[in-house]
A and B are shown apart, each in its own frame.
Chain A
Amino acid sequence: GAGVSQTPSNKVTEKGKYVELRCDPISGHTALYWYRQSLGQGPEFLIYFQGTGAADDSGLPNDRFFAVRPEGSVSTLKIQRTERGDSAVYLCASGRGQGETQYFGPGTRLLVL
């Protein structure tokens, strides 16, 4: 079956611009996670959704970052006033529920110039 998909696969933007990154989880998975991975590092937790609600957003680095999942399926990570330090791979993962195995998407490579 289809895995987690993310779009775009690559995004180049200029400092100060707004970007949206999309995640389409595995069908039926209620848990959805966003991570950020910088070069040479492991994924860093950003936010977790259970259904439509953000159950844990403690990993969001600041208020420029926001994520939504309005219908409990597709999620969008939104970054305002991008900075060069936001450049990273943004990974999305989904799972059958809280505590279940997380399956990762291929990621979106964001480059802020």
Chain B
Amino acid sequence: RKEVEQDPGPFNVPEGATVAFNCTYSNSASQSFFWYRQDCRKEPKLLMSVYSSGNEDGRFTAQLNRASQYISLLIRDSKLSDSATYLCVVRRNNNDMRFGAGTRLTVKP
């Protein structure tokens, strides 16, 4: 079993839709959590960190449930430019980041 599991998708949604991605992690010692975005043939870029209290950045909301070892990302009012692969990332200590395989999102007009 992989340490970080994500639904690979693809998720195909119309513009303006709300879409949610889920991620589970197996190592309870994980300390920090992130969502990265990766466009096709590009490098991953940090989208947002995920905090236990939940956090929001514009149309993006991230949630963490440590008891269930579950992380989520909600995107509201999807834009065409949101089309990308979203990578769930957990960090066990200060340097060891583990990435999920990513969830692919396509937003269509």
Contact A40 B101 (CB under 8 A): yes
Interface residues of B in 61-109 (CB under 8 A from A): 87, 89, 91, 94-102
A79 at the interface (CB under 8 A from B): no
Contact check, A42 vs B94: say whether CB atoms are below 8 A apart. no
Q: Report how far A102 CA is from B95 CA in the complex, Å.
A: 9
Q: Which residues of A contact B (CB under 8 A)?
A: 31, 33, 35, 40-45, 48, 50, 55-56, 58, 91, 98-99, 101-107
Which A residues are CB-close (under 8 A) to B32? Answer: 99
In the complex, how many angstroms separate the beta carbon of B10 from the nearest chain A beta carbon? 12
Residues of B contacting A: mostly: strand
- How many interface contacts (CB-CB < 8 Å) are there between A and B? 48
Tell whether, in the assembled complex, residue A91 and residue B98 are in contact, meaning their CB atoms are under 8 Å apart.
no
Pick the contact of A56: B8, B89, B95 (CB < 8 A): B95
CA distance A31 to B98 in the complex (A): 17
| Contact between B43 and A102, CB atoms less than 8 A apart | no
A42 near B102: Cβ-Cβ < 8 Å: yes
Using A42-B4, A42-B87 as known contacts, say yes or no to A106 and B42 having CB atoms under 8 A apart: yes
Contacts of A31 in B (CB 8 A): 95
Least CB separation from B88: chain A residue: A42
- Contact between chains at B96 and A43 (CB < 8 Å): no
B46 at interface by CB-CB < 8 Å: yes
Q: Are B45 and A104 in contact (CB under 8 A)?
A: yes
Residue B44 interfacial (CB < 8 Å): yes
Give bound CA distance, A111 to B4, whole Å. Answer: 27
Given contacts A42-B100, A91-B43, 11 further A-B contacts (CB under 8 A): A33-B95, A41-B102, A42-B87, A42-B101, A99-B32, A99-B91, A99-B95, A103-B46, A104-B45, A105-B43, A106-B42
